[in-house]
């Protein structure tokens, strides 16, 4: 991510945590918490036999012109995706732009932008990118970026400063007098949008480089600008704040102050895209606990802006057939008061409403997991039976077809095994539409 000058915003977001999660092929959903509630991701190490995609060359930079490529004694055709050259005068980044993209002038404000020259479908990996881990204070804040095509043709030269980089949050990146930043090449010209169309899960990290993928969040057509969300890559902007965002999105937040400055709900929604170090800071600072939950076979979670999240069947269930067995988390009342709770359902992070997503007992509260998004009905399609104090089975009370909402009766969630009643801490007007609808409900 970069911010250059008063009106220019050209900063590439650094890569984020991976978005790939695997659901168990089982009709039993297990729920567990990790240290700080965190899901730990494993970095992909480079094979020892493969040389690094980034090389640092400590020697003078030969002059290169568009018409004299071979005047470079280190032929560009042999270069890797990103090469860092340090000289007495500063630093040069030699960056190879992949096919399907172009760096062009920005018509909105002074600066550049990245546009697609090929179509990129939603969910596709658009390219693999690299950033160098450098202490710019020892190199010089102003550096030159040379962009080459995949055919090794020199396309353009630009001068930039440390806005072409972001702070590195990894352990050890800040020690003594050293303060490393993630320094980007051609994709450092990517602009911010509060409704970005790309994100960047991390593939691996070493002390000198990081590698990431660029994934399309929606279809990107030829000519579309490729954007990222700067808030994902700096917990605090530390002098790079943008007081007036110019993204023009209908979801524009007005300012770019880093991840820390986002509303709580927005932070939770974006957790799957941030680096682990940023996620850790958020969980500790906000006193958030994340519980992990997997959807069992035959069950889907549907979310819409109109009616929120609810469970649906993805296959047929006959009367009496178990849909799933689940284990509830028993939350002490003091924790419920002092902490915030987030549910990770197959990689989708959801902030839990303490009034509606917990069953309050005499001594504790039950947090059910994915099935806390089951809708109420006065004529429900399921019934719940406790096996132990916190384990229960949910069975079909009527035939449930694919696409049907899975419902339960919020007023009949007593735990007969633990002899714990549903205290009924909230009330609402029922809109289930059944002929036996009770009209109002306390649960």
Q: Going residue by residue through the chain (443 aa), what tens digit of pLDDT does each one get?
A: 333 333 333 333 333 333 333 333 233 333 333 444 443 333 333 334 334 444 333 333 332 233 333 334 344 444 578 888 776 667 788 889 999 999 998 888 778 899 999 999 999 999 999 998 887 665 555 677 888 888 778 888 877 654 567 777 665 545 455 567 788 889 989 999 999 999 999 999 888 888 999 999 999 999 999 999 988 888 887 767 778 888 889 999 998 888 998 999 999 999 989 888 889 999 999 999 999 989 999 999 988 777 778 899 999 999 999 999 999 889 998 898 899 999 999 888 999 988 778 888 888 888 888 998 898 899 999 999 989 888 999 999 999 999 999 999 887 777 666 566 665 566 778 888 888 888 877 66
Rg for the chain (alpha carbons), in Å?
Answer: 26
How far is it, in rounded angstroms, from Cα 244 to Cα 189?
19
Please say whether the beta carbons of 423 and 360 come within 8 A. yes
CATH of domain 2-26+39-62+70-286: 2.170.270.10
* Strand 82-87 with 90-96, pairing: antiparallel
Nearest to 302 by CA among 364, 370, 246: 370
DSSP class of residue 344?
E
Query: Where in the chain do CATH 2.170.270.10 domains reside?
Result: 2-26+39-62+70-286, 289-442
* Strand blocks (E) in 161-275: 165-167, 174-175, 178-179, 181-184, 191-192, 198-199, 202-205, 209-216, 227-228
Stated as kind and residue range, the H or E segment containing 335 is helix 333-338
pTM of the model as a whole: 0.69
Nearest to 85 by CA among 56, 62, 65: 56
User: Collapsing DSSP states into helix, strand and coil, what is residue 414?
Assistant: coil
Please say whether the beta carbons of 381 and 310 come within 8 A. no
Stated as kind and residue range, the H or E segment containing 377 is none
How far is it, in rounded angstroms, from Cα 223 to Cα 118?
8
Nearest to 94 by CA among 67, 142, 61: 61
Range 289-442 has CATH code 2.170.270.10: yes
Please say whether the beta carbons of 260 and 236 come within 8 A. yes
């Amino acid at each position: 991510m970069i911010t250059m000058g008063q009106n220019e915003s050209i900063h590439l977001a650094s890569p984020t945590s991976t978005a790939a999660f695997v659901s168990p092929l089982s009709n039993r959903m297990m729920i567990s918490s990790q240290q700080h509630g965190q899901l730990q991701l494993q970095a992909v190490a480079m094979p020892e036999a493969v040389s690094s995609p980034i090389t640092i060359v400590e020697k003078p930079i030969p002059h290169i012109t568009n018409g004299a490529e071979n005047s470079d004694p280190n032929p560009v055709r042999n270069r890797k995706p990103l090469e860092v050259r340090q000289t007495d005068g500063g630093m040069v980044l030699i960056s190879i732009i992949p096919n399907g993209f172009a760096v062009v002038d920005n018509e909105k404000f002074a600066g550049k932008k990245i546009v697609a020259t090929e179509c990129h479908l939603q969910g596709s990996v658009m390219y693999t990118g690299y950033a160098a881990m450098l202490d710019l204070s020892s190199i010089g804040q102003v550096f030159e970026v040379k962009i080459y095509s995949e055919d090794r043709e020199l396309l353009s030269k630009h001068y930039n400063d440390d806005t072409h980089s972001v702070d590195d949050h990894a352990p050890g990146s800040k020690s003594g007098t050293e303060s490393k930043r993630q320094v980007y090449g051609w994709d450092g010209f990517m602009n911010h949008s509060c409704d970005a169309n790309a994100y960047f899960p991390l593939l691996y990290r070493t002390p000198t480089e990081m590698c990431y993928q660029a994934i399309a969040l929606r279809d990107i057509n030829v000519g579309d600008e490729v954007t990222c969300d700067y808030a994902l890559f700096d917990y605090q902007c530390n002098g790079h704040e943008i007081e007036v965002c110019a993204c023009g999105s209908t979801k524009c937040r007005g300012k770019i102050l880093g991840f820390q400055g986002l509303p709580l709900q927005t932070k939770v929604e974006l957790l799957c895209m941030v680096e682990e170090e940023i996620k850790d800071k958020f969980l500790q600072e906000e006193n958030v606990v994340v519980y992990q939950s997997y959807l069992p076979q035959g069950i889907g979670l549907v979310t819409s802006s109109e009616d929120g999240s609810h469970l649906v069947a993805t296959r047929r269930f006959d009367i009496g057939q178990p849909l799933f067995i689940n284990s509830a988390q028993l939350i002490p009342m003091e924790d419920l008061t002092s902490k915030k709770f987030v549910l990770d359902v197959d990689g989708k992070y959801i902030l839990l409403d303490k009034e509606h997503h917990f069953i309050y007992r005499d001594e504790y509260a039950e947090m059910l997991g994915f099935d806390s998004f089951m809708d109420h009905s006065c004529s429900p399609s399921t019934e719940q039976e406790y096996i132990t104090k916190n384990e229960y089975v949910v069975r079909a009370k009527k035939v449930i077809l694919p696409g049907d909402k899975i419902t339960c009766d919020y007023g009949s969630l007593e735990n007969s095994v633990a002899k714990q009643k549903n205290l009924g801490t909230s009330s609402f007007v029922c809109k289930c539409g059944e002929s036996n609808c009770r009209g109002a409900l306390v649960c």
